[in-house]
Amino acid sequence: MKISVRNPQLLPVMLLVLVITSCNPGNPEKDVIQLSWETNQTVTYQEAIHKYEKLDNTFETARLLEQGTTDAGKPFHLFVISRDKDFQPNSIHKKNKRVILVNNGVHPGEPCGIDASLQFANDILLNKDGMGRYLENTVICIVPVYSVGGALKRTPYIRSNQNSPEERGRRGNRRNLDLNRDYSKQDSQNAQSLASIFQIWQPDVFLDTHTTNGSDHQHTITLIPVQPSTLPTVLEGFLREKMLPALYQGMKETPYEMIPYVMFNNRNPENGIISYLQSPRVSTGYAQMFQVLGFMTENHVYKPYPDRVRSVYHFITKLSEFTSTHGEEISRLRHKAQQNIRRKQTYTLDYKLDTSRSRPLHFMGYRQGTITSKLTGLQYKGYDHSKPFEDTIPFYSHYNPVSQVKAPDYYIIPQAWRHVIHRMKINGALMHRLNKDTLLKVQSYYITNHDHLKSSYQGRYYHNKVEVSKQQEELSFYKGDYVVPVNQIRNEYIVQMLEPEGKDSFFRWAFFDPCLERRDWNHPGVTFETNAKRYLETHPELKEQYLQKKQQDPGFARDHMAQLEYIFNHSQWSKSIIGRYPVARLEQGDNLKHLW
């Protein structure tokens, strides 16, 4: 830079001004963005992105990135705050910094997190109340609006049971999917973009912001942490004994005392609250598969909107403070958990609440009673706001395994199932491809019983019942098929998604339904009768079973087609992989490595 000064006496003054300016580049003292949440207004999608762009343009320590796309065709944005101006994930992790990922607007009708995150970003970048110190060893990533399609469809006439903010977005995204049921199956572009962010940025701590109308009480904010019982032991103890108590105590120091998400035991507050068990379809259950400390705030929809925003703001602040203070410990425990996952053999597919264990919880609620409607004049059962109460009630937060599986050394996925393979890649699973056609002795699952929902749920007919049998057999696999070793830090994801009985497995979500369909069947006629007769003569055991069934079942004995079908179903003609789950399990140690 060249400086020209006509009056040399002014040179020291100008240099001083230059030094002061250069020491504080783009760091204004006043708010950079203006928000209206205190007057019951929430930002639109376009306004949110514009405000993050303004923060990006103002602060060198912030950057708004496009990382993927959404079902609405709009970019998937990620706002990153990095104190040393490093926005490269690999470099950030090499510096041993923790990453917090905050996700907002999963349901755009629940926008308190959208406004709270904007306010938080503005304030931490301005170092209000010394908040900037949290950035010394922590990088904060914010998804401004997750369900862009839902946010673009805002109106006062959505979510009729709430009156704030004045306009709200739709629960469904552009494909009318509930994105908080899409984290594992990832049918939306939004979910696939977020999964990529999980793998690229590898967050240590994850927060998903919501609003709930599922219960009525005096508390403004409730919390759903990843269920501790589902985490590796080292993380379970840290979450139960240190992190959660610190977060609850931190919120108690604000005007918004926080309690666990309110799921009443048998719908009665006096019977206590049950900890919510999250499966991989929802955000915290998804985070658990990657040993991420996940949280979901649920603000009470009937509270004033400004209070809901402030309470989330306080929680984000407390979460950032805790992560910064305990960053080294979080790093060490997560690393240990991931190394244990590499060697883990037995995985839990389902849990049951342990009703013998509870802790006392301070709860502020309303008595149940009979209320007279001001509109209809009729009476109904509900919570009487004229009768608030405080009490100590039990909180049940422990779960025990009820369904477990021993993982194989490898899973083998035929390349034909490309939609599954695509999702496995997005979620960071290490896979190899066979370099030649080969015959392998594997363990196969056969779906012996299944049932699915009678109507579409999240665009699919989810299997709410799955029963399997196992069989050893030799099967052909072809060059290009995928081999998935179960010795990696993605093991939890791999097992939960590929075991058909997993609560949110690919099979549960109907990715593999063609395996249940018959393509070859019995064509009645003289030719099959001739073939069936010859088959019975060469298979005396089946012939004996067939004759016994005719003798014992008069209806069967009178039914020509039923008899032909019986012979067909119990012969080699019917063994055309009907009901055989396509993903095979292989116990081979290191003997497969020559095949890729």
User: Taking CA 205 as the corner, what is the angle to CA 202 and CA 210, rounded to the nearest 5 degrees?
Assistant: 115
Do 526 and 560 contact (CB within 8 A), yes or no? no
Tens of pLDDT, residue by residue over 127-170, are 999 999 999 999 999 999 999 999 999 988 888 777 788 888 89
What number of CA atoms fall less than 13 Å from residue 92's CA on the CB side? 26
Residue 125 shares a structural domain with residue 266: yes
At residue 11, the pLDDT reads 45
Reduced to 3 states (helix: H, G, I; strand: E, B; else coil), residue 74 is coil
Measured between alpha carbons, how far is 497 from 419 in angstroms, rounded to an integer?
Answer: 13
Residues β-bridged to residue 400: 352
Amino acid at 207: L
Residue from 286, 297, 291 nearest 120 by CA: 297
Cα torsion 202, 247, 181, 352: sign: positive
Residue 300 shares a structural domain with residue 379: no
H runs (alpha helix) in 366-462: 418-426
Residue 570 shares a structural domain with residue 587: no
Residue 280 shares a structural domain with residue 381: no
Residues β-bridged to residue 353: 399
Residue 70 shares a structural domain with residue 197: yes
**542-552: string of b/e by CB count within 10 Å (b at 16+)?**
eeeebeeeeee
Residue 385 shares a structural domain with residue 316: no
**Residue in this structure with the two tokens 């343009």, named with its chain if needed:** 57
Residue 396 shares a structural domain with residue 411: no
Residue 378 shares a structural domain with residue 332: no
Whole-prediction pTM value? 0.89
Residue 293 DSSP code = E
Residue 216 shares a structural domain with residue 265: yes
Measured between alpha carbons, how far is 484 from 423 in angstroms, rounded to an integer?
Answer: 13
At residue 594, the pLDDT reads 83
Residue 7 lies in a domain: no
Cα torsion 110, 112, 114, 115: sign: positive
Cα torsion 550, 553, 555, 561: sign: negative
At residue 7, the pLDDT reads 47
Residues β-bridged to residue 316: none
Alpha-carbon distances of 422 from 64, 418, 427, 497, rounded to whole Å: 27, 6, 9, 13
H runs (alpha helix) in 480-523: 491-498
Residue 324 lies in a domain: yes
Residue 19 lies in a domain: no
Residue 375 shares a structural domain with residue 445: no
Q: Any residues with CB less than 8 A from the CB of 545 and at least 6 apart, and which?
A: 570
Residue 334 shares a structural domain with residue 218: yes
Measured between alpha carbons, how far is 462 from 303 in angstroms, rounded to an integer?
Answer: 35
Amino acid at 321: E
Do 168 and 158 contact (CB within 8 A), yes or no? yes
Q: What is the CATH number of the domain that holds 192?
A: 3.40.630.10
Structural domain span for residue 310: 32-343
Backbone angles phi, psi at 380, to 5 degrees: -150, 160
Measured between alpha carbons, how far is 337 from 326 in angstroms, rounded to an integer?
Answer: 16
Residue 166 lies in a domain: yes
Residue 363 DSSP code = E
Residue 97 shares a structural domain with residue 244: yes
Residue 386 lies in a domain: yes
Measured between alpha carbons, how far is 143 from 79 in angstroms, rounded to an integer?
Answer: 6
**Which H/E stretch holds residue 333?**
helix 327-343
Torsion angle, CA of 170/176/181/184, rounded to 10 degrees?
-130
Tokens (6 digits) for 371: 């209320």
Residue 540 lies in a domain: yes
Residue from 143, 133, 146 nearest 80 by CA: 143
Do 104 and 114 contact (CB within 8 A), yes or no? yes
Measured between alpha carbons, how far is 200 from 16 in angstroms, rounded to an integer?
Answer: 43
**54-72: string of b/e by CB count within 10 Å (b at 16+)?**
bbbebbebbbbeebbebbb
Residue 259 lies in a domain: yes
Measured between alpha carbons, how far is 470 from 277 in angstroms, rounded to an integer?
Answer: 29
**Number of separate domains in the chain:** 4
H runs (alpha helix) in 427-559: 491-498, 526-538, 540-552, 554-557
Residue 320 lies in a domain: yes
Tens of pLDDT, residue by residue over 6-18, are 444 544 444 443 3
Full pLDDT tens readout for the chain, 596 residues: 333 334 445 444 444 433 333 333 345 678 999 999 999 999 999 999 999 999 999 999 999 999 999 999 999 999 999 999 999 999 999 999 999 999 999 999 999 999 999 999 999 999 999 999 999 999 999 999 999 999 999 988 888 777 788 888 899 999 999 999 999 999 999 999 999 999 999 999 999 999 998 788 999 999 999 999 999 999 999 999 999 999 999 999 999 999 999 988 777 777 899 999 999 999 999 999 999 999 999 999 999 999 999 999 999 999 999 999 999 999 999 999 999 999 999 999 999 999 999 999 999 999 888 999 999 999 998 888 899 999 999 999 999 999 999 999 999 999 999 999 999 999 999 999 999 999 999 999 999 999 999 999 999 999 999 999 999 999 999 999 999 999 999 999 999 999 999 999 999 999 999 999 877 766 666 788 889 999 999 999 999 999 999 999 999 999 998 999 899 888 887 766 678 999 999 997 667 778 88
Task: Output the DSSP codes for 258-291.
Answer: -EE---BGGG-GGG-EE-----TTSHHHHHHTTT
Cis peptide before 165 (omega within 30 of 0): yes
What number of CA atoms fall less than 13 Å from residue 148's CA on the CB side? 23
